[in-house]
Amino acid sequence: MTRTKRHSWVTPRLAIWTGASAAASLANQMLAFALSWTAAGHSPALAGTVLVTWSLPLVALLLVGGVLGDRWGHRRLLITVNLVHLVVACSAGAFLLTSSSPLVLIGLALALGTVQALRAPASGSVVRLFVDDDDLTPALAATTTLTQVVTLAAPPLGGLLVAEAGLPGCLMVLAITLGVTTAAFWLIRPPRDPRARGEASVWHQAKEGIVHLATHSSTRWLLCSVAVVAGATLPVVTLIVPLLGQDRIWDPAHTGLLGAGWTAGSIGIGILTSLRGAPQNPRWMLRWGPGAAAGLILMLVLPESPWPAIILMVLIGAAVRVYTAVAAPLLLTSVPPELIARVQSVLVLVQQIAVLVVTAGLGVAADVMGASAALIGSGLLCAAGAVLAHAATRGTAKPVIVHR
């Protein structure tokens, strides 16, 4: 009886929707690897330009994607964006059959980044439309874990595909996957998909999501905490681990295992959360998740061998996931359903900005004072995120804002 109730959120509609989304994400990330590989074959400068061109729309258009998701409805927006994505993939594939000039690669990166920015808020928050608020934590944990598995699998699969079929072959696989995914979205309707009124301007509606999060003290502090924790922890994998490996003279294979350890710890907590459901005391997880991660990051200064560092990275990934498994559902359930895409866009945007700013700062610190200084800075910043989480949950057993 308990098991049936615990996993009642697992429905065929949600399973098919999530599977279709994961397939499209896998094909898209395989294409991202293939595009970077092809650009790197021209020159390092072009590879950097392609990556920046892909990333720029993710910052510039995320809030627009949130507004469109709430105004049109998640399902309608995702179907529309998938169809546009399909046209882009087919057109780019046709161009690349005759030419792989740098301009074609840059244009493809810009188009794909734009599509991803418009899709991301609705795609990241659509789970709430399938489940009740009490089931959102395990449902999000399951979908996020699946996304992490896809992220792990995409680069090697993309490498195999680009070796066999080149970039046009990757685009063809993406087009076929998008066709299947769009058909699945067309056939399946979420139980709820409210739409916001569309009379106001895009900027005014985007501002509603920001104002809602900023007006309430709990969500304001929690959003700041999420941004700080993201800025403190994500550069550990992307920036500090390679620097640490170079500093300690570890070989690339062992250094790469540190990043894999982070992912393994995160996936483990994600599976546990999806099976056990929402915690009874989320306040404790919000406070001690980033606090434990901060202490573990500071401990990375000590190991001279990669193996203790790998174990620490597993624990860091688990500690961060303990925090995010609670923080994201709390923010999404703090707002009315017609605001969730906009709130998701704000949530993603503040994390991206924080990661960009902190990565630049930690890079300068590492250049001047070494990798250990960057680690200490990251750990102290993560501790600050724990303090902000404490402020968000002060005096409440369950920090959820009751929306009007």
Do the Cβ atoms of 202 and 69 come closer than 8 Å?
A: no
Domain closes at, from 178, 195, 212: 195
We report the CATH number of the domain holding residue 296 as 1.20.1250.20
Q: Give the mean pLDDT of 292-319.
A: 93
- How many angstroms from the chain centroid is the CA of residue 320? 13
Mean pLDDT of the chain: 85
- Residue 244 belongs to domain spanning: 203-393
246 shares its domain with 342: yes
Judging by beta carbons within 10 Å of its beta carbon (0-12, 13-18, 19+), is residue 274 exposed, middle or buried? buried
Which DSSP string do the residues of 44-64 spell out, in sequence order? HHHHHHHHHHHHHHHHHSHHH
Q: Per residue in 35-58, pLDDT tens?
A: 888 888 888 788 878 888 888 888
217 shares its domain with 338: yes
358 shares its domain with 376: yes
Structural domain includes residue 365: yes
Do the Cβ atoms of 355 and 235 come closer than 8 Å?
A: yes
Q: What is the DSSP letter of 202?
A: H
Q: Per residue in 207-234, pLDDT tens?
A: 777 777 777 777 888 899 999 999 999 9
Which amino acid is residue 85, in one-letter code?
Answer: H
181 shares its domain with 212: no
**In whole angstroms, what is the distance from residue 69 CA to residue 131 CA?**
18
Backbone φ and ψ for 39, nearest 5 degrees, come out as: -65, -40
- Tell me which residue of 271, 267, 242, 269 sits closest to 256, measured CA to CA: 242
196's CB contacts (< 8 A; 6+ apart) are 70, 71, 205, 338, 339
Q: Per residue in 11-35, pLDDT tens?
A: 889 999 999 999 999 999 889 888 8
Domain closes at, from 195, 219, 238: 195
Q: What is the DSSP letter of 191?
A: S
